[in-house]
Amino acid sequence: MAVFTLFPVVMTVLGSFKSNMELASGATLLPRQWHFTNYAEAWKQANFSVYTWNSLFVSAASTVGTLLVASMAGYAVDRRSFAGKRLLVFIQASTMFISIGAVVLRPQFELMVKLNLHTSLWGVVLILISAHASTFFILLGFFKAIPRDLDEAATIDGCSFAGIYWRIVLPLLTPGLGVGALFAFRAAWNEYILPLVFTMNNPAQQTLTVGLANLRYTNSAAMQTQLMMAGACLSMLPLLIVYLFANKTFMQVTAGSVKG
């Protein structure tokens, strides 16, 4: 399974150093001549400096917002009993299993028009934050592992419900936040349809995925596959960096499961 998973990545990395003609022929695995200029050309043609900043903004803002909303919702659901609690959990679960795809694009766009956010990346960020169901259930499992005795002790000391969340529970939730951040950042970074729709009339706000798709054709309408592969390799770097930082949280999740 690892071979099947990594093979396309290896092919992309090697293809990013080939010429377009060599890629079209598909005769060799390793490049006959290493074209390191493909990366510079891809960076220049796709305006990667601007698109990368836009992607980082959308991914970072949506990740922080998703963690904040999902953690507060999970804390309230786990620690309180209120009317409609089961309905809320059911609705959250239904959004994960019912995929309606592009059907919701128009109402989402019209909603952002009403909020005057249809020409801003903040509209994309708000929509991505609203799709926080998976992070909600991830954090809900971590909340259940935090003893309620800590809440009772903090309440005796005069800490409020919100204070317990901010001072007691949230620091203990760090491993879960790391896992949720990794998935939320990856989903936002790889999002294509939403940034395409919201930035169609404003190329300066396009994200990296949209700019990478524009590398398919040059001014002469010839497909530049090698530039797309070079751009794809560049776009993978931030995800790898985020994973390196979040990898510690995965080890913390299982660190206490084995004694000896």
* DSSP code, position 129: H
Name, in order, each residue with C-beta under 8 angstroms of 24's C-beta and a sequence gap of 6 or more.
225
pLDDT of residue 258: 41
Under CATH, what is the fold of the domain 50-216? MetI-like fold (1.10.3720)
pLDDT of residue 236: 86
Domain boundaries, the chain: 50-216
User: One digit per residue, pLDDT tens: the chain, 260 residues?
Assistant: 988 888 888 888 888 888 878 887 776 788 888 888 888 887 877 678 888 899 999 999 999 999 999 999 999 999 988 898 999 999 888 887 766 667 788 888 899 999 998 888 999 999 999 988 999 999 998 898 888 888 889 898 888 998 999 998 898 888 889 889 888 999 999 998 889 888 888 888 889 888 887 766 555 555 677 878 888 888 888 888 888 877 766 555 544 434 44
pLDDT of residue 200: 83
Give the separation between CA 209 and CA 11, rounded to whole angstroms: 19
pLDDT of residue 255: 44
pLDDT of residue 114: 92
Phi-psi region of 125 (alpha: psi -120 to 50; beta: other; left: phi over 0): alpha
